Every structure is written in C-alpha cells, then in structure tokens.
Amino acid sequence: MPDFGPLSEHLGYLLHRTEVKLIARVAAELSEVGVTPSRATAVIYVALHEGCDQMALGGALGINRASTMKAVNELVALGAVERRPGRDRRSHALYLTPHGAELRTAIEAITARADATNFSVLSDDEQVALRAMLQKLHDFEPRKRSATGKAHKSGRTP
C-alpha cells in the first residue's frame, strides 16, 4: 500500500483502502453480468423483499430518492426489475423478473467466488473473527458529545 504518512496508521483509513480494493475486484466480475456492486445489492434486496417500494429500497441502500429512482430505472431497463401498482397511487411495488431471478443467481455466485478469493489469505477462524469485529464496528453508535465535549447519557446533544 502506498505510504500516506499518519493516515496509514488509522484503522478507519486502512479499512477504507481495503474496501476500495475489494469492491474494485468484485465490480470487475459483476460488470460481466451488467451490474455494479450497488445495483447488485439492489437486486438482492428486491429479491428478498418482493413488493417493496422504492422508499424502502432507498432506505436499505442508504441513498436518496433521486438515486433510488435512477437505480430502479436502470434495473427496469436491464429487465431485472419490474414496477407494479403499490399500496397507493403514488408508489410502485418492485418485483424481480425472470431475468432478475437469473441475475440474482449470478450475483450470488460471483460474490461468493469473490469472497473466497479475497479472504483466502485468512484462515477460517480469522474470517469468523473478522466478520464478528466488522459487525461490531458496524453496529456501534458512538455517544454524541456536546460543544463542551461531554458525552450525554441519552446520546443526544442538548
């Protein structure tokens, strides 16, 4: 890894650099089936939550309404997802098409192979430990601090 001085010592920075490298590898493989990692994630979400609306998809992906609409439009154009009438006139329910189901299978195979390759340097026990540590970091919500730097029990600043 290139030397970035003090940044190289920060775990968050190392985690980011590693994530960029791993995502680039899987992106190259996913491009063979015509999707990006984020579009692949959307396909999997719709498959697991058939009938969800765009708002639920965007919330799950952590993206805004415009980005969600763009993602859904791309997946519809790809023939992977279809919109059906939703709970009300303003929403659409999202469903995988038969092509989307095939794409899901390909995405799952590609990501499984990528994981096997990317983490082959780690033993099974190390992979289990890494997964547990990453989940712990993901779930952690630091306590909020006030302008004086004091943490509040409620987690909120006054």
Interval 15-68: pLDDT, tens: 999 999 999 999 999 999 999 999 999 999 999 999 999 999 999 999 999 999
Domain assignment present for residue 102? The answer is yes
**pLDDT of the residue at 146:** 67
Domain assignment present for residue 14? The answer is no
Domain assignment present for residue 128? The answer is yes
pLDDT band at 5 (very low <50, low <70, confident <90, very high): confident
Domain assignment present for residue 3? The answer is no
Residue 85: CATH number of its domain: 1.10.10.10
Q: Which residue segment(s) compose the domain that 128 sits in?
A: 38-139
Give the rounded percent of residues in the chain with a pLDDT score beyond 90.
Answer: 78
pLDDT band at 158 (very low <50, low <70, confident <90, very high): very low
Domain assignment present for residue 108? The answer is yes
Within 8 A by CB and 6+ apart from 36, the residues are: 27, 30
Domain assignment present for residue 26? The answer is no
Question: How many structural domains compose the chain?
Answer: 1
The CB density around residue 100, as the number of other CB atoms within 10 Å, is 22
- SS3 of 149, please? coil
Domain assignment present for residue 97? The answer is yes
**pLDDT of the residue at 1:** 66
Of 50, 47, 53, the residue nearest 101 (C-alpha): 47
Q: Is the pLDDT of residue 9 over 60?
A: yes
Domain assignment present for residue 123? The answer is yes
Query: Is 0.75 surpassed by the pTM of this model?
Result: yes
How far apart are alpha carbons 66 and 130 in whole angstroms?
34
How far apart are alpha carbons 93 and 97 in whole angstroms?
13
